[in-house]
Structure 1
């Protein structure tokens, strides 16, 4: 749509994707700060350290998973991994989980309740990130001439130009927003610690698997060509592991 939000002469450019990521990060930090101060009396430095660790983990994880989408290409073009373009959300998420576990244990924070807080935080940040994707044209859909189709015309967009496409970025943003609302409702009704976080993983993995059907950025690759994408395969693993831990935690905490 509009990859560049605005420019000031030839010296300063604000890109839409980066702008929405920053807005999401600010909103996420605000939510975590409020929740952790309310329940665990944390200070702002602790939250800043947490987000710095998660930022590094997300970048590394996103790039590692990007490499494994096309190892032969990136082995020969390693510099392509070092650009600001190209991240795999699942890589970022799966690298951030052990980073959070390490941080919470080190700081003496309750792990499972903190993961529940971070589930809602992830929805907040990710929602704005997907809006940024829409503005930049990345994570675009397949060609479609339906009533909700969008057409990208800005040459700076990463989507195919002048072709009606499924607005998969908006599908994702809507899905993430809906999941966030479900988690907020569950927040006051949960029966065990960790329930919100695991519910997030299950709901997101299911939704992501469905949206993958309409994705047109085929560079993400397939496990079974034309049938099961890398993200769908990872979603299956995430759902399987999440259901196992959901049942295990519920049994251990509720008897």
Structure 2
């Protein structure tokens, strides 16, 4: 019995339609996240004091890094979704694997793709890998914030049934009040984590290669695991052993990798990071 629930706001996932061309909020979230992150990254590397006196790269280096990261996000995100969330379907419909416009992206896949792209880029330019990953770790919550808000606007990735007074009835979620888990994740993985990253930068995290990237990994992983307690699992995957979800399992290596980077950043500095 439904006692109280908030109606889903009448938000069209398509912002503007021009003939067959449709500009969607989700696409804009990726674009704005990348562009704002790029601007903040340029600001960070243009301030040598944040790096202990010498910036490990030039702002111009980040112009090309943005291009590499964009492909890493898109290709990795799609491949991650195919492998982790709907492999059986795509095995039967391989032609749809690259049809990104039909939906289906994985953050963990996008993270892996971006890491690989940035490592390759840094190696090709002679830039310290860990320092470039630190920059990415500081700015990544911006994209997460916009992305989760776009998920809410799309009425997708909604939460588990709830009797909370702020529960929402999503158009595709049945006549059941649900946690607006997209907004929970926007707050945890976006706003809160971004604030933490800025504080860490002020406290000198960028002076120790790998520290900011590690803090991001820990913060994102814990935030995502927390959000998964309120988020409805993808129906084709469902709950896994002991009530865990795919999102929880994929986030554990992110947390462990973050811890490893932070521990490594505590070592005495013996030379340039790589």
Q: Which residue of 1 aligns with 2:187?
A: 174
Q: Which residue of 2 aligns with 1:232?
A: 248
Instruction: Give me the TM-score of the superposition, normalised by structure 1.
Output: 0.86
Unpaired runs of 5+ in structure 2?
1-8, 49-54
Instruction: Give me the TM-score of the superposition, normalised by structure 2.
Output: 0.81
CA distance in 2: counterparts of 1:236 and 1:63, whole angstroms = 20
How far does residue 8 in structure 1 lie from its aligned partner after superposition? 5.1
1:15 to 24, 32, 35: 24
Q: Is the 8 A contact 1:54 1:96 kept in 2?
A: yes
2:201 to 187, 190, 194: 187
Q: Which residue of 1 aligns with 2:46?
A: 37
Q: Map 1:134-145 onto structure 2 (within 5 A).
A: 134-145=152-163
SS in 1 for 2:267: helix
Q: Which residue of 2 aligns with 1:26?
A: 35
Q: Which residue of 1 aligns with 2:83?
A: 68
How far does residue 222 in structure 1 lie from its aligned partner after superposition? 5.5
Q: Is the 8 A contact 1:179 1:204 kept in 2?
A: yes
Q: Which residue of 2 aligns with 1:156?
A: none
Structure 1 residues 202 and 136, CA gap change in structure 2 (3 angstroms): same
Q: Is the 8 A contact 2:213 2:261 kept in 1?
A: no
Q: Is the 8 A contact 2:233 2:239 kept in 1?
A: no
CA distance in 2: counterparts of 1:37 and 1:213, whole angstroms = 40
Is 1:107 the counterpart of 2:105? The answer is: no
SS in 2 for 1:14: strand
Q: Is the 8 A contact 2:210 2:265 kept in 1?
A: yes
Q: Which residue of 1 aligns with 2:215?
A: 199
Aligned residues: 248
Q: Is the 8 A contact 2:210 2:261 kept in 1?
A: no
Structure 1 residues 150 and 237, CA gap change in structure 2 (3 angstroms): same
Unpaired runs of 5+ in structure 1?
154-158
Q: Which has the higher helix share?
A: 1
How far does residue 225 in structure 1 lie from its aligned partner after superposition? 4.4
